[in-house]
Chain A
Amino acid sequence: MKFTLDWLKNHLDTTATLDEICTALTDIGLEVEGIEDPAAKFAAFTIAHVSDAVKHPDADKLRVCTVETNDGTKQIVCGAPNARKGMVAVYAPVGAYVPGIDLTLSKAKIRGVESFGMLCSERELELSEEHDGIMDLDIRPEVGTPVSEVLGLTDPVIDIAITPDRADCLGVRGIARDLAARGLGTLKPYDVPAIAGDGDTGRSVFLEFEDDANTPCPYFVGRSVSGIQNGASPEWMQRRLNAIGSKPISALVDITNYVSFDLGRPLHVFDAAKLKGNVGARLANPGESFTALNEKDYTLDGTMTVIVDDSGVLGLGGVMGGESSAVSDATTDVFIESAYFDPARTGHTGRTLSLESDARYRFERGVDPAFVEDGLAVATQLVLDFCGGTASPMVRAGKPPLRNHVIAFDPAHVKKLTGLEVEPGEALAVLRKLGFCAQGGDAPYDIHVPEWRADIDGSADLVEEIMRLKGLDAVPTVPLPRAPGVAKRTLSVPQRRERTLRRTLAAAGLHEAITYAFISDDDAQAFIANGSPIALANAISSDMTSMRPSLLPGLLRAAKRNLDRGLANVSLFEIGRVFLGSGPKDQPVQAACILAGKPGVRSWRGATGSYDTFDAKAIALQGLKAIGAPVEKLQTFAAISGATPSAAYHPGQAGELRLGPKNTLARFGLLHPKFAKLFGLDGPVAVVEWMVSGVPQPKTASSTTKRALVLESLQPVERDFAFIVNDDVPAQSLVRAIQGADKTAITNVAVFDRYDGPGLDPGTVSLAVCVTLQPRGASFTEQDLEEIAAKITAAAEKSVGANLRA
């Protein structure tokens, strides 16, 4: 919302400076977004007299001008056709910034003739689009007079942001009222003209809605003015409209715009000669269409309020008028309409049609329902003043939807809710200045809310009014009460685990990425075995249509981008929600990592190879261990289950770590090469996905002490075994069998060699195992060791058919 200081002072009697006014505006919630002071903007531009202008020796269209300026006599080369001896022009010196061409002037040589500065057009000063020639003043101010003074451009323009609740400040008068309540002056009285109206009403108005209250448009008034002449509006009005960026068009159009900006009251003026019969409002018939003032055609639906006459749709109520009944310079009779349109419906109509207008902006936020008739009177008087003519009596339909809202208010609520000390009298005085009316001798008072404040709902809203006008600086700063002692732990177990996992993976050399939670439909579909992705109804790009079912697609795309940038190695991880459904429980937190490219850097110490399944498995286990998963109880399954299609993984080089047969805590391995190619990745790509929520919660311990440590005084003994097994026997099964052979003595089983070369039967493999045995209480005798070895070989044979290698 823009306005000028002079315009504001039309409503506000104040001695406050521009600075004081702007500081107060921001503080009371009308945030100043910009101040444009034309005197400062045009400071460099002054009046100059052209004492001579001759043709450039080498260019037909250029003139070499001798110019009397405040810097003395200057030679300026000018290309404007109207540059001539004796004219009064606007001079910009070397070093001046010319806004219209975004250029700071320097001394120039044009076709061999030196030029010191510039004579400017209106467009170059951003005064208008005029660029047929340089500015040619028909008055003769002294050389050096500031151009802002000559053009009357001394009025600063203030631009403020209006929050959606403050419809009352979408007119300059509302802003003045707020400032007066702040104590920055007095709100000047506003006299609404009394227009009796002569003669015949001409035409009547009507409302045609199904509900008796006419909810979409409860009140509609109008008046004819005949015998007018539509010319230009007065210079003062044009200047104000120009200053706020609203282009003056004609007296009739300017009047409606001015009343809208000045009083927050949108109106519409029809050319009466183009109307057929009476004018009214109803809901559009589905499929009806009309051409709006912006010269675009709109097809309407049954939710939209339209203004109609006997010929059909004239305009969209509260949004935009129509081309067919628009006023022109030839207009001699008008019909002025003022109505109240329902905010929600107006907003909905505007959004549906993507149609923005100053009227919609005001109606959808809620205009003053008590000012419908007054607005018409103000506009009528301006028409009579500017265009002459005779006004008819007002015609009306429906009744204004007044709220008559009363709030029981105890000024003590201010202190209770804000901590701010305010005398009850002062609190009520602030409200009165805002137009509220307080009744009752004692608290709680009956506070009558002015009709222009539809945002005021209850007592808390009144507290805000008093607080903002007293100033938020006056609210005391009070520390939040705190419990005695040291602050307690605040994170839950899953939250702590997430932190630990994040920092464990980073310590392991992976970089944490955050990628978009919505991805392309293809990428999402690739990670769904059955069904389709959860897709947005209004995605903004085809890369962002579907919620990710896995963290991997985002990481794979990021890996590809990194490799394309020439990085040799990509080690990324992410922790975040994946979306398996739209319910709160279908959005679990997962973690994933990707290892692509070369592990490490090329070094004089040797080759770096490539990532393999066991790099992934190691990180998978490291992560699970960090978040408290019982890794010693986990089993590796070769099959890939769950939402991720098994096709994503290498059929022979991937697995799952499960706790029990069904609870998958992590998937790891190499991606299927064909799958990696979908994401543009060549070469082995190792990945891990962690289903972190599957890790069981620890039992709530009653004590922080750990289980007592028993340290064996006797040294452990290691014994090596080499077993021949069929090559389809998982090493894990052999290890488990050995672990179970003597649970007291055997503390560790490590596979230290795997051999499947010459010397073995085809289809068999040798697994060399180192078994650690811990003596308890007494050293092992040779016989003890032999017995344990026998148990180990027996168990290995029994469970996986392993034979000791000869």
Chain B
Amino acid sequence: MTDATQLQTDIETQISGADTLEALEAIRVNAIGKKGSVSALMKTLGRMTPEERQTEGPKLNALKRDVADAIAARKDVLEEAALAAQLAAEQIDATLPIETQPQGTIHPVSQVMDELAEIFADMGFTVAEGPEIEDEFHNFDALNIPAHHPARAMHDTFYFPKKKDGSRMLLRTHTSPVQIRTMLNNEPPIRIIAPGKTYRSDSDATHTPMFHQVEGLVIEEGIHMGHLKGCIEAFVKAFFEVDDIKMRLRTSFFPFTEPSAEMDIGCSWDGGTLKVGAGDDWLEILGCGMVHPRVLEACNLDPERYQGFAFGCGIDRLAMLKYGMTDLRPFFDGDQRWLSHYGFSPFDMPTLAGGFSA
């Protein structure tokens, strides 16, 4: 048993007994630090004979290496334990509730307008717009609704005060004046839809004085009522995402179309829930017809050459039928609870590939 062997045993006992990184560091300094016991032993090599050095040198180097390895190994163990203790101390209650980033909503009317734009884009319709404060020419006269026609009185128009020249502006009663503006400013072929706000002075459970309509207009050579049927049938099928839908056209009257018709779709009210497409009841969906020759003339188009169709329907009503709201009035109240419930995610963008309903 040499001093070195004894020293190694002593140090290794100390190392395995060290229970903190600080204690281990002290042991390292005392053993293999500059003034440590192993370092002191190493210094004795200088005073040895070459022969002694040949036998003692490797032994002392091995001693130093073994001590260093033992310290490193112990350090790994202690570090591992320290980390475990730290992590244990950091434990939190991950079951605590957390709010996600608030997300807003798109109003059903806007969502349906986007759906309409998307569906009609596939059939080549652009989206046209026009002012909401209109003049009598665009809202009535050009649409073949003369001043004293009962149809004009039936429109429940909001007027602004008469101007000095006797004319008066009004809030458009339908989106049809956009037809007129489009035909006056564009050469056929024309395919537009015109969604927007419209105003009529009645207010009850099913009518609000402001509401939304979409107008459709196609002016091309050779377009007839059969194309109108094909177009609105394609629209209704795409909008309600129903392949087989029961529909009927009924003769009706609008001053700006001749012939005129209204379209009903089949529906049922089983258990108080509306189902669109089939059933024994009918729902009135839209009014339509072939653009009246007098309207074409008012827009400087030759009725002998051009003909086409127009249709119009209520957007709020479409939204109600498709998404199940039963009352129109909350549409315009800004009740955040209603908007959160009936509104749409901003990421539910209607597309041809992703579908037209959210």
Residues of A within 8 A of B (CB): 26-29, 31, 163-166, 343-345, 347-348, 351, 364-365, 415-420, 457-458, 460-461, 463-464, 467-468, 472-473, 475-483, 487-492, 495, 499, 502-518, 534-541, 544, 547, 554-555, 557-559, 561-562, 565, 567, 570-573, 575-577, 579, 582-584, 587, 600-601, 603-605
Taking the nearest CB of chain A, how far is it from the CB of B166, in angstroms? 13
- Quick check: B336 and A570 within 8 Å, CB to CB? yes
- Quick check: B201 and A504 within 8 Å, CB to CB? no
Taking the nearest CB of chain A, how far is it from the CB of B141, in angstroms? 14
B199: chain A residues at CB < 8 Å are 517
Please, how many angstroms separate the alpha-carbon atoms of A61 and B148 in the complex? 60
Stretch of B18-26, B51-59, B78-86, B229-237 contacting A (4+ beta carbons < 8 Å) = B229-237
- Quick check: A503 and B252 within 8 Å, CB to CB? no
Taking the nearest CB of chain A, how far is it from the CB of B132, in angstroms? 6
B225 partner, pick from A29, A475, A481, A584, beta carbons under 8 A:
A475
- Quick check: B259 and A460 within 8 Å, CB to CB? yes
Which among B110, B127, B218, B223 has the greatest number of chain A C-beta atoms within 10 A? Answer: B110
B160, CB-defined interface residue at 8 Å:
yes
- Quick check: B153 and A503 within 8 Å, CB to CB? no
- Quick check: B160 and A577 within 8 Å, CB to CB? no
A415: chain B residues at CB < 8 Å are 224
- Quick check: A537 and B230 within 8 Å, CB to CB? no
16 additional contacts (CB under 8 A) given A166-B253, A419-B226, A490-B117: A27-B251, A164-B151, A347-B150, A347-B153, A464-B259, A472-B251, A487-B352, A504-B346, A505-B104, A513-B107, A518-B158, A518-B210, A537-B159, A539-B158, A567-B336, A604-B96
- Quick check: B133 and A587 within 8 Å, CB to CB? yes
Chain B residue with Cβ nearest A601: B99
- Quick check: A480 and B231 within 8 Å, CB to CB? yes
A562: chain B residues at CB < 8 Å are 334-336
Taking the nearest CB of chain A, how far is it from the CB of B12, in angstroms? 48
A351: chain B residues at CB < 8 Å are 153
Which residues of B, 134-149, contact A by the 8 Å Cβ criterion? 147-149
- Quick check: A507 and B110 within 8 Å, CB to CB? no
Please, how many angstroms separate the alpha-carbon atoms of A28 and B148 in the complex? 26
A164 partner, pick from B104, B122, B126, B154, beta carbons under 8 A:
B154
A512 partner, pick from B110, B121, B130, B227, beta carbons under 8 A:
B110
B160 partner, pick from A416, A420, A534, A561, beta carbons under 8 A:
A534
B101: chain A residues at CB < 8 Å are 509
Please, how many angstroms separate the alpha-carbon atoms of A379 and B125 in the complex? 57
A467: chain B residues at CB < 8 Å are 225, 251, 259
With A419-B226, A464-B260, A509-B104 known as contacts, the answer to whether A487 contacts B121 (CB < 8 A) is yes
The 4 closest A-B pairs by CB, nearest first: A558-B334, A419-B226, A344-B148, A29-B251
A506 partner, pick from B105, B210, B226, beta carbons under 8 A:
B105
Taking the nearest CB of chain A, how far is it from the CB of B148, in angstroms? 3
A515 partner, pick from B129, B334, B337, B345, beta carbons under 8 A:
B334
Which among A164, A463, A604, A605 has the greatest number of chain B C-beta atoms within 10 A? Answer: A164
B252 partner, pick from A29, A517, A539, A559, beta carbons under 8 A:
A29
Please, how many angstroms separate the alpha-carbon atoms of A28 and B105 in the complex? 44
B64, CB-defined interface residue at 8 Å:
no
B340, CB-defined interface residue at 8 Å:
yes
A472 partner, pick from B124, B148, B249, beta carbons under 8 A:
B249
- Quick check: A582 and B133 within 8 Å, CB to CB? yes
B347: chain A residues at CB < 8 Å are 503, 507
- Quick check: A555 and B334 within 8 Å, CB to CB? yes
A605: chain B residues at CB < 8 Å are 98
- Quick check: B158 and A536 within 8 Å, CB to CB? yes
With A464-B251, A536-B160, A601-B99 known as contacts, the answer to whether A513 contacts B290 (CB < 8 A) is no
- Residue-wise, chain B 150-182 has the 8 Å CB interface mask toward A (1 for contact) of 110110001111100000110100000000000
With A347-B153, A464-B258, A561-B333 known as contacts, the answer to whether A517 contacts B104 (CB < 8 A) is no
- Quick check: A537 and B161 within 8 Å, CB to CB? yes
Chain B interface residue count, Cβ-Cβ cutoff 8 angstroms: 92
Please, how many angstroms separate the alpha-carbon atoms of A513 and B342 in the complex? 11
Supply 18 A–B pairs (Cβ within 8 Å), ascending by A. A27-B248, A343-B148, A347-B153, A458-B258, A460-B259, A476-B229, A480-B230, A487-B121, A488-B124, A502-B106, A507-B104, A514-B107, A514-B334, A565-B335, A571-B102, A573-B104, A582-B133, A605-B98
Chain A residue with Cβ nearest B101: A509
Please, how many angstroms separate the alpha-carbon atoms of A582 and B248 in the complex? 40
- Quick check: A479 and B230 within 8 Å, CB to CB? yes
Please, how many angstroms separate the alpha-carbon atoms of A351 and B157 in the complex? 13
- Quick check: B226 and A461 within 8 Å, CB to CB? no
Please, how many angstroms separate the alpha-carbon atoms of A27 and B168 in the complex? 39
With A505-B104, A513-B107, A561-B335 known as contacts, the answer to whether A482 contacts B123 (CB < 8 A) is yes
B332: chain A residues at CB < 8 Å are 514-516
- Quick check: B130 and A460 within 8 Å, CB to CB? no
Which residues of B, 194-231, contact A by the 8 Å Cβ criterion? 197, 199, 201-203, 209-210, 218, 220, 223-227, 229-231
Please, how many angstroms separate the alpha-carbon atoms of A458 and B290 in the complex? 14
Taking the nearest CB of chain B, how far is it from the CB of A159, in angstroms? 16
B307: chain A residues at CB < 8 Å are 416-417
B38, CB-defined interface residue at 8 Å:
no
B107: chain A residues at CB < 8 Å are 512-514
B339, CB-defined interface residue at 8 Å:
yes
A419: chain B residues at CB < 8 Å are 224-227
Please, how many angstroms separate the alpha-carbon atoms of A189 and B96 in the complex? 88
Please, how many angstroms separate the alpha-carbon atoms of A26 and B259 in the complex? 15
B292, CB-defined interface residue at 8 Å:
yes
Please, how many angstroms separate the alpha-carbon atoms of A273 and B259 in the complex? 51
- Quick check: B224 and A347 within 8 Å, CB to CB? no
- Quick check: B251 and A364 within 8 Å, CB to CB? no
A507 partner, pick from B224, B292, B340, B346, beta carbons under 8 A:
B346
Please, how many angstroms separate the alpha-carbon atoms of A573 and B307 in the complex? 42
B96: chain A residues at CB < 8 Å are 604
Please, how many angstroms separate the alpha-carbon atoms of A510 and B343 in the complex? 11
B310, CB-defined interface residue at 8 Å:
no
- Quick check: B127 and A490 within 8 Å, CB to CB? yes
Taking the nearest CB of chain B, how far is it from the CB of A166, in angstroms? 7
Please, how many angstroms separate the alpha-carbon atoms of A509 and B346 in the complex? 10
B114, CB-defined interface residue at 8 Å:
yes
Chain A residue with Cβ nearest B113: A499
- Quick check: A417 and B225 within 8 Å, CB to CB? yes
B109: chain A residues at CB < 8 Å are 514
A576: chain B residues at CB < 8 Å are 197
Please, how many angstroms separate the alpha-carbon atoms of A544 and B162 in the complex? 19
A579 partner, pick from B102, B117, B133, B259, beta carbons under 8 A:
B133
Please, how many angstroms separate the alpha-carbon atoms of A345 and B150 in the complex? 11
- Quick check: A511 and B336 within 8 Å, CB to CB? yes
B103, CB-defined interface residue at 8 Å:
yes
Taking the nearest CB of chain A, how far is it from the CB of B338, in angstroms? 9
Please, how many angstroms separate the alpha-carbon atoms of A605 and B226 in the complex? 64
Which residues of B, 53-112, contact A by the 8 Å Cβ criterion? 96, 98-99, 101-107, 109-110
With A365-B150, A479-B230 known as contacts, the answer to whether A460 contacts B218 (CB < 8 A) is no
